[in-house]
Amino acid sequence: MTLQLMINGRIFDVTGFFEKEHLGRRIVGFDFQVTHESYHDVTVLLYENDFRVEIPSLEVDFQAVIHNYFTSFTNLYEEGAVGDFHLELIEKR
């Protein structure tokens, strides 16, 4: 199942979505694909590490930072390449 999620206003189509609580803070995790064309914009966004997470279909809206993050080994500098990203965001205190 694909879910639409927004990070700082940028829309991502995500899969493998989960939500849990840790020490009183919300954590959301999900997978998404990044293309060669979007790689630069996505990585610049992630380096900010200060996010507004919105999931309108689940009425979710909170401020977060990265809790866990990893990618596939795909070289996204190659035209036509697509990488798999996994991101977990934790609610800011």
Query: What is the structure's pLDDT at 25?
Result: 97
Along the chain (93 residues), what's the average pLDDT of each consecutive run of 10 residues? 92 96 96 94 96 95 97 86 96 94
- Per the document, the length of the chain is 93
Burial of 3 from C-beta contacts in 10 A (0-12 / 13-18 / 19+): middle
User: pLDDT value at position 1?
Assistant: 67
Global pTM? 0.92
